[in-house]
Chain A
Amino acid sequence: MSWVVRLATSAALALILTGCGRSAGPAQHAGQLTVGFAQVGSESGWRSAETRMAQDAAKQRGVILKVADGQQRQENEIKAIRSFIAQRVDAIFLAPVVSTGWDEVLGEAREAKIPVILLDRPIETKDAGLYLSAVAADNTLEGRVAGEWLVGRLGGKACPVVELQGTVGSTLVANRKKGFQEAIAKAANIRIVRTQSGEFTRAKGKEVMEGFIKAIGGANICAVYAHNDDMMLGAIQAMKEAGLKPGKDILTVSIDGVPDIFQAMAAGEANATVELAPDMGARALDVLAAYRKTGQAPKFVQTPSRLFLPDTAAAEYARRKGLY
């Protein structure tokens, strides 16, 4: 029988070594704020940058930030919020992976008197009292900025555009699409001829762009609009492989402002990007600090959506590459 015991112990050890391997120590110090951050995941460079900048901002302010990576699953994020409540953190930051289904768990947070600040994405609820504040960009505005740049750049030249959408089903995608359409609605010379989902990834963006080039021919595409930079980087690859010159034969405009797109712009292979500022954690910490002092917080904090062009690309790349 003794080998049974040995096996059970070694299996337990395996768990301890892998899952519970950190040395014990109290996480909470007197007077220091603890904030739990339920993050969507680490699916893109932007997402990782948001996490890292939130951690840095917390360190500067002497706040303990506990980050839970939801691996893009709502169940995991709900679990994370519950464990933050169980730990009695002072505040919870939530970057929701989907917009629905948060009422119950946020209700529990409210019951435990823990303020919740939403980051980056909105939630759908009838009870706005479930969260203290939301820090986010206006995704429709991002699409509009991208569209207005294209309108200005073309100056009336006829232009068939292909669109690489993000993962179907999110409000983010609907809004980036809507904003762009609003901007080009006034320009009769621009129309979207193809649109398909590239699922926000580089590989899928490349695949879809290859499909577009095969289906309608590279000469019949004048510009690409991608809902994020990663898909655009894939599309740039596809254009190069098809013997086209991205940035010259085909104009590009995308959203997010990740380092690699600045590198592509500096190399003349991309034309424009609209930045989604990744410093939302710092803004949320400021909202929280003000709330703890005055008891008041703005319901919505809008982050800027700035357009970046190749002229500043090299400098912007140097500034960002460490963050991502």
Chain B
Amino acid sequence: MNGRNLPLAATLAVFVAAYAVCAARFPAFIGTRVPADLVTDNAFLGVIAVGMAFVVISGGIDLSVGAVMGFSSVLISLAVSRWGVPPMAAFLLAVGLGTGFGAAIGAAIHGLRAPAFIVTLTAMFLARGAGFLLTTEAVPIDHPFFRTVQDLAIRLPGGGRLGAVSLVMAAAFLAGGVLLHATRFGNSVFAIGGDRRSAELMGVPVGRTTVLVYAISGGCAALAGVVISIYTRAGNPLTGVGVELDAIAAVVIGGALLSGGVGTMLGALVGVLIQGLILTYIDFDGSLSSWWSKIATGALLFAFIGLQKLIVQLPRLSPRMAGA
């Protein structure tokens, strides 16, 4: 077994064990309803986590995604309900803008040799401010298209209901997984995350890859804005505050190394579901403070960072396992 897959195995084990514990206490967890809700309710976070997986694996960080999601939800709601733009065109406009914005972030990081943290922090303020510039209040969307999309849910036997947004998330994960694990571009992402200098010397197009990685992240964040605008049928400039941190946590819990070079798309998905599961448990209990979810997420993050440290140290301790 490849030592680098161990975090993914641990993530899966945690998810299965936690679900079993929840199901043992609340029988309602068994059946299709709770799993379907888990996917539908976390779709926006899942879509963001797809982009964040690319960024983290490339050794970067993107703090702007929550703000870009908020901006895109506001843009869509205004375009559809006030400016009379057809919904599909509004979606394309939002995702296009998000992708372009992300590409600009990537170009700044590469061109200025600036830390991703600072560049994306700046971008976060910009996007959040731009959202409030468009409107300071929640804008409801009243358009037949949105009602149709909401009714597109797949009904599972047993009361489960997979909303249209969960299909968007599934498509994002599939596309992201293929792009990350089965293309030359994906290899470049792993290469610059593992060792940027060596990658450069080996002829990996570092600049182009960096720009693309942040473009994907920005595009995913804008797509998450599409998801949340369908999900809540409204745009709100306050949407998505702090979501970037949830996405980073999901990717790391999913086994990605914050220093880059290691991670999987499947892990990011399970990381998202684990966070959703913790919150669902707390809602079911009804007497626990929801802030326990933050503490549980923190404890998990800590456990996984410890696990990763161990794996990084591992080659030195046992040379036999490093070969894989």
Q: Name A residues whose Cβ lies closer than 8 Å to a Cβ of B.
A: 1, 4, 7-12, 14-20, 22, 24-25, 27, 36, 42, 64-71, 73-76, 78-80, 82-88, 98-104, 108, 124, 126, 168-170
B307: interface (CB < 8 Å)? yes
* CB < 8 Å neighbour of B138 from A14, A67, A100: A100
Contact B299 A14 (CB under 8 A): yes
Could you tell me which residues of chain B, from 224 to 247, have a CB within 8 Å of some CB in chain A? 228, 231-234, 236-239, 241
Contact B44 A75, beta carbon cutoff 8 Å: yes
B122 to A: closest C-beta gap in Å: 22
Q: Are A27 and B18 in contact (CB under 8 A)?
A: no
* Choice from A14, A20, A80, A102 contacting B283 with Cβ under 8 Å: A80
A68 touches B296 (CB 8 A): no
Q: Indicate the member of A8, A19, A99, A168 with the most B CB atoms within 10 Å.
A: A19
Decide yes or no: A75 and B41 within 8 Å by CB, A16-B18, A66-B286 being known contacts. Answer: yes
Do residues B278 and A82 form an inter-chain contact, with CB atoms below 8 A?
no
Min Cβ gap A248→B in Å is: 35
* Contact yes or no, B142 A24, CB < 8 A: no
B90 to chain A, nearest CB (A): 17
Within 8 Å by CB of A10, from B25, B136, B303, lies B303
> Which residues in B have some Cβ–Cβ distance to A below 8 Å?
1, 6, 9-10, 13-14, 17-18, 21-22, 24-26, 28, 33-34, 37, 40-41, 44, 136-140, 142, 150, 159, 161, 163, 228, 231-234, 236-239, 241, 274, 276, 278-293, 295-296, 299-300, 303-304, 307, 310
- Find A100's partner among B40, B159, B236, B241 (CB 8 Å cutoff): B236
In the complex, besides A100-B138, A100-B139, A104-B233, 15 extra interface pairs with C-beta distance below 8 angstroms are A15-B21, A15-B299, A17-B299, A20-B281, A27-B286, A68-B283, A68-B286, A74-B232, A79-B279, A83-B283, A86-B28, A86-B159, A100-B232, A100-B233, A104-B150
- Look across to chain B and name the residue whose beta carbon is closest to the beta carbon of A71: B290
CA distance A14 to B295 in the complex (A): 10
Q: What is the bound-complex CA distance between A27 and B138, given in angstroms?
A: 37
Name 18 A/B residue pairs within 8 A (Cβ), A-sorted. A7-B10, A11-B300, A12-B14, A14-B300, A15-B17, A15-B299, A16-B17, A24-B24, A66-B284, A66-B286, A68-B283, A74-B232, A86-B37, A98-B234, A98-B238, A99-B138, A169-B236, A170-B137
- Looking at chain B's contact residues, is the secondary structure mostly helix, strand, loop, or mixed? helix
Which residue of chain B has its CB nearest to the CB of A83? B283
With A88-B28, A100-B236, A126-B142 as contacts: A83 and B291 at CB distance below 8 Å? no
- Are B13 and A18 in touch, CB under 8 angstroms? no
Of chain A, the residue at the smallest CB distance from B135 is: A169
Nearest B residue (CB) for A3: B310
Q: A14-B299, A18-B296, A100-B140 are in contact. Are A83 and B284 (CB under 8 A)?
A: yes
Taking the closest CB of chain A, its distance from the CB of B258, in whole angstroms, is: 17
A67 and B274 alpha carbons, distance in the complex (Å): 21
Contact residues in A for B236 (Cβ distance below 8 Å): 74, 98, 100-101, 169
Question: What's the least CB distance linking A139 to chain B, in Å?
Answer: 15
Q: Which 4 A-B pairs have the closest CB atoms?
A: A66-B286, A101-B232, A100-B234, A12-B17
Please name the residue on chain A nearest to B161 by beta carbon: A108
Decide: A20 and B22 in contact? CB cutoff 8 A.
yes
Q: What are the residues of chain B within 8 A of A126 when measuring CB–CB? A: 142
- Inter-chain CA distance A80–B279, complex, in Å, is 8
Bound-state Cα–Cα, A80 to B233, Å: 18
Docked-complex contact B237 and A87, CB < 8 angstroms: no
Q: Contacts A68-B282, A69-B290, A86-B33 given: A101-B140 contact, CB under 8 Å?
A: yes
- Shortest beta-carbon distance from A124 to chain B in Å: 5
Determine if A11 and B14 form an interchain contact, defined as CB atoms under 8 angstroms apart.
Answer: yes
| Residue contact B9 to A4, C-beta cutoff 8 Å | yes
Cβ contact within 8 Å between B231 and A18: no
